[in-house]
Structure 1
Amino acid sequence: MIEMVQMRRHGAGSAGPSSGKFVVSALPPGESAVQSLSPSIKVVIEGEEIHEIDGRPYVVRPGQMLLVDRGPPSRATVRRNQQTLGLCIYLPSSGNDGFDPNLVLPRAILQSTDSNSLGRLIADYAARLHRGRGDAQLPATMMAQVSASLGDVLSSAGRSIGALDVKKASTRQEIYHRLEVARALLHGNIDRVVPLDELARSAGLSGFHLTRYFAAAYGAPPARYHRTLRLERAAQRLRVTNLAITEIALDAGYAELSAFTHAFRREYGCAPTAIERPRKRPC
């Protein structure tokens, strides 16, 4: 049976059952030991947690998820004057050999929750659990969905790492980690243009190398990748809301309607006015 555990204080974590476990946490400042007998996924919906894995710190903030392969215990820290709300999912350990070794992945991968359907699913579930809206019958269904989706997420990460033109595997993994930091910044700022120098600083790379590696890993340079994200959200809002097109353009980081229309037409082959809007209800 899948366990659903509430965690309100720090301590030494226990190993999850072979069927898997959900840990819903609301933690004050302090440190916890984290067992890693099976792969796990951690999201934070409020505050931030620092997970030290194999000697390296990973700072997990809202909008991010940390994928961790099985291995030695790690340490989770909540800084002074902070409190975090989060969810950790321990996958079933029976028959689970961890991450596919053929993918040459690092043991821990930090990603934006908005970068794939698995991240969005877990972030939404974590928020509902903390609002007291988690269906008691849902954990088994959620665990099945997470287990089924994780392989695709890891395969995608493996392809991105493999696409980097760097000989040493550990260097490719380090560059990928920095690229994911930059990608999370783009996903977290859909309402504005993120300058290349700001993005490069966040990743600790030069603008030239960031652009080159980003395009290799994700199929488009940062500016085009981010423009597509902003236009996708704008197109969705056009389809499901009655907001004025000028307001949707501003929310997508376009100060001028003409610039938004030009970018939209180039992306979708039609003007924003061609999108069918929802009908307004009669008074």
Structure 2
Amino acid sequence: MNIDLTGKTAIVTGSTIGIGHAIAIGLAKAGASVVVNGRKQDAVDAAVAAIREAAPGATVKGVAADLGASEGAAALVAAVPQPDILVNNVGVFKPMDFFDIPDEEWSRVFEINVMSGVRLSRAYAQGMAERGWGRIVFISSESAINIPVEMIQYGFSKTAQLAVARGLAKRMAGTGVTVNSVLPGPTLSEGVAEMLKDEVAKTGQSLEEVGAAFVKAHRPSSIIQRAATVDEVANMVVYVCSKEASATTGAALRVDGGTVDTI
């Protein structure tokens, strides 16, 4: 399959590192003009340069905006008013015991993980419909289904994304705009590397080895028995954003290594 997104403009939120960065590279390699987003200008500039190096000849620009607030979403919309593809990837997670999570943390996670995508989808979906084509993707998680006891606040936000994406897909019926969720399992992003760094230092093992041990201990239902790479997740997202995925909408597409033990 030759995925060609030439002439399409794609926004990937939270794309300076991790899964978002890999998605931005994948879309750029497929010919899309890519908009990188992050909170800090220096991180955005570095990501733009890295994507241009990974995808020579690609059109890449950056917009620094904090999407955890309505003002940041408005700034991004003002800078890029008419994208064809929106990947709602930005998100935060932090292992915390339920009884130690204050109200402020619940609100912060909801604003960043859920409302960022709500605001941008609300701003962009109607324009996509008027042009007769669009792709909106929410990067959820297998934690939306397997709520992790060590970070319930994260799981609840990812479940909320599934609800928003499914409802919006039905709202956009017949418009040429598809809306889907992609659910990664444990993935060797920079965020996960940070979470596992103490274990890497203590054991002297590689990040991949520690990641595999984490999966076996905490996600024993995983069929691949390891963490995924960011590129493995990005491959699914690039396909969902393609013209070839025109009959895929309202779906929750798992890239979880078989962790969710259900059909």
TM-score between the two structures when normalised by the length of structure 2: 0.27
Higher strand share: 1
Work out which of the two has the higher radius of gyration on C-alpha atoms and give 1 or 2: 1
Higher helix share: 2
